[in-house]
Amino acid sequence: MTEKKSGSRMQRVLMTGAAGGVGTVLRKLLKDVYPDLGLSDVAVPKALGRGEKFVAADLADMAAVERIVKGVDGIVHLGGASVEKPWDMIHRANIVGCYNLFEAARRHGVKRIVFASSNHAMGFYHRRRRVGTEALVRPDSRYGVSKAFGEALGALYADKYGLGVLCIRIGNFADKPVDVRRLSIWISPGDLVQLIRIGLEHPELRYEVVYGASDNARSWWDNAAAFRLGYKPTGRAEEHLKHALAGQAKLPIDPIADMFQGGPFCSDEFVGDPETRGG
Ligand code: 15L
């Protein structure tokens, strides 16, 4: 996105989940774009750089969340559980924690939130289906349900309180797609940075849901909403086909996972007849 089209650059940006897998890569890339980047997580990130500003906070603690959010213009919310967990953990970090984040942002006049949603909000769609952002949510896990909750919360805070919110249904964030499923859902670090910048800077953004995917020939998703906002992905999963096939060869056979977009999140705890399930 060019500077002219994007409007003014956010001054103070906070990134939650800074110690996680995505956060560890993104915090280096976003620091070049937002020099005053603040970081938070419940755990202290390993190898925190000299210039990095970190404040620990448990998202379930509203007072702590208010402290990290105060004075911030925009938030990249990656914090919380990033895979399937028992309900009490999902509830604490992704339901209560996500509510606290949006509510603290409202109280402190934050202008933009980029919410890291996930493909697992839609994981029970069959792989033969092409889904856009108008389709019903079809979560494949308690984790996926929590991401659908975060998207709904984003809509409420945009429509009722006027925050600008971009929900990115992240596919799989990595340098390269690591198996066949990821050839359809992979997003390169550079492409995710591009989407985050759209969420923080696009002058007309109110509330949008987009897919966090690169320019993948096998994509299952209609990402028209992202393209409308100016997204121009440069990653191409097929360029890493050999790498993905080598990774696939190491995976166990899992017919239920192979049927649905969410893969092993669908087969995990699955009971009954898969032919009668999914969207
Ligand atoms: C996610 O939402 C997870 O955070 C990540 O760890 C991967 O499992 C990814 O989805 C995926 O579906 O590959």
Write out the DSSP string of 23-67: HHHHHHHHHHH-TT-EEEESSPPTT--TT-EEEE--TT-HHHHHH
Q: Dihedral of the CA atoms 165, 156, 38, 48 (nearest 10)?
A: -90
- Please answer whether residues 86 and 137 qualify as being in contact, where contact means their C-beta atoms are separated by less than 8 angstroms: no
What's the gap in Å between 163 CA and the centre of ligand 1?
A: 27
pLDDT at 3 (0 to 100): 42
9: confidence class by pLDDT, cuts 50, 70, 90: confident
The arithmetic mean of pLDDT across residues 55-63, rounded, is 98
- Tally of residues, the chain: 279
Q: pTM to 2 decimals?
A: 0.97
Question: Per DSSP, which regions of the chain are E strands?
Answer: 13-16, 38-41, 53-56, 74-77, 112-118, 164-170, 172-173, 186-187, 207-212
What's the gap in Å between 71 CA and the centre of ligand 1?
A: 31
The arithmetic mean of pLDDT across residues 38-47, rounded, is 95
- Please answer whether residues 17 and 79 qualify as being in contact, where contact means their C-beta atoms are separated by less than 8 angstroms: yes
| Any ligand 1 atom below 6 A from CB of 261 | no
197: confidence class by pLDDT, cuts 50, 70, 90: very high
Q: Which atom of ligand 1 is nearest to the CA of 147?
A: 2
| Any ligand 1 atom below 6 A from CB of 82 | yes
Q: How many CB atoms lie within 10 A of CB 164?
A: 23
CA 56, chain centre distance (Å)? 21
